[in-house]
Amino acid sequence: MINCLFVGCGGFLGSVLRYACSFIKLGPEGFPLVTLGINIVGSFAILFFAGVFTRVVPLDDHLLLFLRVGLCGGFTTFSTFSAETLGMFERGDVVLAIGYAVASCALCVVAALLGEAAASALSA
């Protein structure tokens, strides 16, 4: 039950951070650059936290749940990404929708790899 509390508290903070970011206006109208940025940062952070707090500065399992599952899970937003992509398709912006979907997947995987590499570099 204590694990749920840590995940819930982290999720609350991550969700509030994501909501706060929704007020940032970036990029061209109709392109969800903020959502893309949130997901890239979250993809980096989840593997960075995992690496740093298991290899460099060992952290209690509860705090790892707070950071990775709660904070990063609450901050990143796959459902919003999906809804925004669908919205682009519905508006007839097919090329933009496909570009956004491909860019989101590719950049988030690259960010995750960079997060892992950064954590590995700190532990070397």
Domain range for residue 9? Answer: 2-123
| Residue range 31-88, pLDDT digits in tens | 999 999 999 999 999 999 989 998 888 889 999 999 999 999 999 989 899 999 999 9
Q: SS3 string of the chain?
A: CHHHHHHHHHHHHHHHHHHHHCCCCCCCCCCCHHHHHHHHHHHHHHHHHHHHHHHHCCCCHHHHHHHHHHHHHHHCCHHHHHHHHHHHHHCCCHHHHHHHHHHHHHHHHHHHHHHHHHHHHHHC
Please indicate, yes or no, whether the overall pTM of this predicted structure exceeds 0.85: yes
State how many domains the chain has. 1
